[in-house]
Structure 1
């Protein structure tokens, strides 16, 4: 009203109203304010010259629309920047390293509420980001990451979070905020790297297993012939020794045992070839007690070599099961040898093999020892190929054993034995008297 009688400037106060509306309101609201401003100016000015009033109003509209567009663009840009900043982990610090501003994602990464982080030293969360690092960065030195490539953030609950920090400096005019830090959580990246390493290890193991499978098939084929020839020679030796009469009885019995083991080795190779070729076993009706009795000479040899006797307690009641005799004996031998290796020089070493009928649940075989046992974190890993705790071991014994047991439609379980060491057990499918008949 003070400027209404002054030409060319009476619209100036109204530009402020238009700009303020453009910054906080929509385009429709801005057009409404422009219209109200023109009507108010005409009402206060009371001009009789319509042409002059129209020209003034036109100029006002043109300049107002230009200012309004600038205001809207500034508002949109500010809203965009605000949206970006509130969606990423960003922290601003003063010259002393205190947190002046923190976004929600950054507060979540530090494990605190935004109001709890305000005015607190950033080094309280990132101990390695000390005053010397901040001082060097403020002096335009590069923000060098630790040797590991990332910083470690310690949350109030004690959890350690690896992060990458990128920094920037603000102008000196912004007195309270000097440094802007952008944080990036490295946990997903490190998890992906760990997963990739695991996959590479698994691929490497698979390649080696495939190579070993091919090699095993070749060896099974090549070894079968010399074993057959050795059996023939032993049989000829038995014939010659039999002519010596009672003097050669002891040597004849030793040769008979040797021939039995050679025949058994041939059967093992033949069955392994079938398992490699078809992946399945031919299960027939067998008695567990009979299959275990065949292994007693082998257990005697183990006792002679190690001084550790294998206690055998196999119940003959209900011990008719479906099994591949040779592969079953191979699995039992592997488990007993592992148990003997586990007890080692343990005083009072005990290795036990028991068999019990559980009626319809199957016939259970357990191999136990009183050695150190198996750590809880190793329970799920000991059956993995190439996994071994023995010096010079290949890590295939338990893996092959589990494959044999699974080919019998059973599962090899591992746990803690009442003797104090490890206990391996599995259940074979029973054959009822009716089925046997």
Structure 2
């Protein structure tokens, strides 16, 4: 009698504890059928907890595996009214009772918060691109004006030849071809500028890091010419394909180039070099300058609103770090042995990112 009373008391205590727990808890027998459910389970599945008894756990958790050895996992849960919600599931087995205890937590609010954070990060990245374009506006105007000036010169020359030497058709065709090439060059710069500042969804595709560098340098090199810096690009496209959002990674490249150019303002030697490589499953870009170098605490450069520039917002490198880390990579800075600094980042190679 005493043992039975103690068992009933222990069972009552356990039921009271389960009813107070805010997470949904299901007891599942060896046949995969729910044999017990707390009040939180009824609230989560929008029905009375008694209505869950006798229901197959596979119907309530169709994307989750309840076999032995399966512990923590995420997946969609299904309510009796066929509505679904994202859930985190933890499964444990009781000793001797042949029961599995499933603890279920609703991830709807957590997923909504993650989506909001992703949207805010995208907005910040867009603001960073606009800020970069604002700072480069003068240099880009000069960059675009060059091909247009060349076009005007070629057309005037062709007109002069047609007036003075009407039989020199081959020479005129060559000059007009050069004018067309310059027009294409100007259009290409404008197109990349539009892509860079256009708001859009993040879309990751397989891209060559060397190609991304080649395309981005047409925007980043404009500032280098203004300060008289020499730009050297050693981008090799062998086995450097990464799964990346093209515009976002180009934003990182332009940010690093712009910072390197500003660091060389007033320096005796001004040389900016970009080089790509790949090893150990990662593609890597190094942006080296011969500027004034890094101050103590280089890691703080990547923190939000930390800037060494008098007019800097302190978001460029922070945005760059967020973008690189969102792609599964890493970004860092170190002193350049030849003077100045080297900013580097890595991205997983496409075959590694897809696995």
What band does the TM-score fall into relative to the shorter chain? 0.3 to 0.5
Query: Which one has a bigger Cα radius of gyration?
Result: 1
Give the TM-score taking structure 2 as reference length: 0.48
Question: As a proportion of its length, which structure holds more strand?
Answer: 2
Question: As a proportion of its length, which structure holds more helix?
Answer: 1
Give the TM-score taking structure 1 as reference length: 0.39
